[in-house]
Chains A and B, each alone.
Chain A
């Protein structure tokens, strides 16, 4: 499916929802406004016309000096005609992104990873906990302002600080 067709149909249904559209070497990308993000995603998955039934990956990007600070990318695939579409959403610290994990179940862990490593918060997520680091971990390691070595690097590590497993 052509990018123009997708953009046109979405814009008819939700006017003003698409802020930007790009097409780099056949990779379609749309930037969606925050307030209509969830509805657009639901349409992309549920509408027969699009049928993006597979969420292949979820990406979070920290663009620190910029405001809003974060980019959230959802990479969609339609198994009908194998069109790929990436949906971008710009968000800032303290803002909540509506979770799409009840649309695509594969978003569950991807969003948890973004929450863990970048500190992006999601609303309506069924199980928003850290997934890679442990509960007591301080900070979000993939943020640009996170020191690579983390906290207390020079002190010997005490495994009892990881309470999840003790």
Chain B
């Protein structure tokens, strides 16, 4: 009875399309090669052998926003730079996720100043905030796992691009 029973033993796995897509997406989150300040060094450290972000499928830092799924805003975002960050985010293909790494990217940090954007969520929608100044690579990995968790629980028809009908 049912397809599952028929296929047992033939190395066939039956799942829903949502689960399959989310499984694939969550295990190949390719970040953008993009850093702003000292947080970027911790982000780089998380890719090196000691911490090894490739265990989570995110070692391929893409040099082009067209090829990346994730932008880790690592560092202080000055108002002059905000234009470029917005442009990089807009250039990324859907589906895309954003991590605000560190105190500066989350809320401006210690820079309560005329020159600094008080949190990147004023510019682009943020999925995960990582606290710390700067956060250790472990925290970066924890943030990445949070993004993966979010991707895995996503319903395909609830994505903003699907809902608005802009998905082609």
Check B80 against A150 for contact (C-beta < 8 Å).
no
Q: For residue B113, which residues in chain A have a CB less than 8 angstroms away from its CB?
A: 148-150
Q: Could you tell me the distance in whole angstroms from the C-beta of A150 to the nearest C-beta in chain B?
A: 3
Residue of B nearest to A141 (CB): B114
Of A7-15, A85-93, A153-161, which binds chain B? A153-161
A157 touches B123 (CB 8 A): yes
Question: How far does the Cβ of B12 sit from chain A's closest Cβ, in whole Å?
Answer: 50
Contact string against A for B residues 81-111, beta-carbon threshold 8 Å, 1 for contact and 0 otherwise: 0111010000000000000000000000000
**Least distance between A144 CB and chain B CB atoms (Å):** 14
Q: Does B118 have its Cβ within 8 Å of any Cβ on chain A? A: yes
**How large, as a class, is the contact surface on chain A?**
10 to 19
A133 at the interface (CB under 8 A from B): yes
| Closest residue on chain B to residue A138 by CB atoms | B114
Instruction: Determine if B114 and A134 form an interchain contact, defined as CB atoms under 8 angstroms apart.
Output: no
* Contact in complex: B122, A166 (CB < 8 Å): no
Closest Cβ of chain A: how far from B134's Cβ, in Å? 22
Q: Closest A-chain residue to B87, C-beta based?
A: A165
Cβ of A148 and Cβ of B82 under 8 Å apart? Answer: no
Partner of B114 from the list A148, A159, A165 (CB cut-off 8 Å) is: A148
A162 at interface (Cβ–Cβ under 8 A)?
yes
Which chain B positions have C-beta within 8 A of A149? 112-114
Q: Are B112 and A148 in contact (CB under 8 A)?
A: yes
* A159-B79 Cα distance, complex, nearest whole Å: 7
A147 contact set on B, CB distance < 8 A: 114
Asked if B80 and A134 make an inter-chain contact with CB atoms under 8 angstroms apart, the answer reads: yes
**CB neighbours of B144 from chain A (8 A):** none
| B114 x A153 contact (CB < 8 A) | yes
* Complex contacts, A166 vs chain B, CB 8 Å: 83
Contact of B86 among A133, A148, A153, A159 (CB under 8 A): A159
Is B117 an interface position by the 8 A CB rule?
yes
6 A-B pairs with C-beta separation under 8 A:
A149-B113, A150-B114, A151-B114, A153-B118, A162-B83, A165-B80
16 other A-B residue contacts (CB within 8 Å) besides A134-B79, A149-B113, A162-B80 = A133-B80, A141-B115, A146-B114, A148-B113, A150-B113, A150-B115, A151-B114, A153-B114, A153-B118, A157-B82, A157-B117, A159-B83, A159-B123, A162-B83, A165-B84, A166-B83
